[in-house]
Copies of this chain bind each other. A is one copy, B any other.
């Protein structure tokens, strides 16, 4: 940490800063310039906090040197974190594609979508059972029923599922059904929720807040890691800016920068980042070209009937095209989109009655 003194700070003020550094157990190192004095802080700095100094008399500004995140940083963990979800490895050369509807709206809608995305080459099924909506009058999701439908789709199509959890007390329930717990953009700094998912052993997809900096995203990951859950994926899903032609501004700079700063896998969400289905395929290609480890994409069989996010959902046939194009970009990067694990097509009649028992709908423990 570097404490910059005002040009007209007094010797007593400088002395007080030096004493304060010593009191905190660190070593002050004053440098007397012609215009100003600067006090560098070295040694054991864990108890030295910038805010302790920035208001002291005579102090002009305080600059920190080290990143505030530790466990999430590549300095502390130089190798890429790679972990399994179902039969897929995330964070290695494989490009993992998660796809499905914004919301689970009905059993038939989800099974139809799952079937389509599985056939097109998706690995993991997404779908919201609990939906954060800015209006209290909008569709809020099917809740537990939605989780059960997701679990049924997992069994039929042999696809791990990712779904959002919105509150700490819902974590055990959602974790019973989901293979990956998603923390939504609006909850990126819901610290109670971060604590809760840090205490369980289930991979987490942590979405960047729409006005959160990369540093804040890594600090939120730090909460989860500090709780003991090391399987965290970062997700860039667009930030809020003045631009109005798109729902958000896709900050793809975050891909190479976050990969440099952190060892965690990074998933890109071109659906939310653009808000327009007609920009999803190009931006999916761009995200992979920038170095993302995977994609999460909204697909709906009939986007114009979707209860949420219709304008940014791909039709199944467009999603087929997306996978095809992403495969070519992956190859140009010496990476690859793995073949999905097989499923038993005979089981897959969306029109068939719901025959699975409750226990079969619950998740099998994933291989860790």
List residues of chain A with CB under 8 Å of any chain B CB.
2, 4, 7, 29, 31-36, 38, 40, 42-44, 51-57, 60-61, 63, 65-66, 68-69, 75, 132-137, 166-169, 186-187, 189-192, 209-216, 219-220, 222-223, 226, 239-246, 249-257, 260-261, 273-274, 276-279, 282-283, 285-291, 303-306, 308-311, 313, 325, 328-329, 331-333
Contacts and interface: CB of A to CB of B under 8 A. Distances in A.
Assembly of this chain: how many copies?
4
A245 B213 contact: yes
Nearest to A209: B211
A219 to B, nearest CB: 5
Contacts of A261: 245
B191 A190 contact: no
Contacts of A291: 282
Contact of A192 (B52, B167, B279): B167
A143 B38 CA distance: 37
A296 to B, nearest CB: 17
Contacts of A313: 55
Contacts of A255: 282, 286
Contacts of A251: 241, 243, 249-250
B250 A239 contact: no
B66 A35 contact: yes
Nearest to A46: B137
Contacts of A241: 239, 241-242, 249, 251
A88 B275 CA distance: 35
A287 B255 CA distance: 13
Contacts of A305: 52
Contacts of A33: 40, 42-43
Nearest to A258: B245
Nearest to A290: B286
Contact of A311 (B36, B55, B288): B55
A165 to B, nearest CB: 11
A164 to B, nearest CB: 12
Nearest to A44: B34
Contacts of A274: 253, 256
Contact of A310 (B51, B68, B242, B331): B51
Contact of A285 (B34, B246, B289): B289
Contacts of A220: 134
Nearest to A270: B253
Contacts of A308: 51
Contacts of A252: 250, 252, 283, 286
Task: Specify which of A51, A53, A54, A136 lies most central, judged by the most chain B CB atoms within 10 Å of its CB.
Answer: A136
Contacts of A63: 2, 63
Contacts of A52: 304-305, 310
B167 A51 contact: no
A133 B191 contact: yes
11 contacts: A52-B304, A55-B313, A166-B192, A190-B190, A211-B240, A214-B243, A239-B242, A239-B249, A242-B242, A252-B252, A282-B289
B279 A283 contact: no
A126 to B, nearest CB: 18
Nearest to A284: B289
A65 B241 CA distance: 23
Contact of A256 (B283, B303, B311): B283
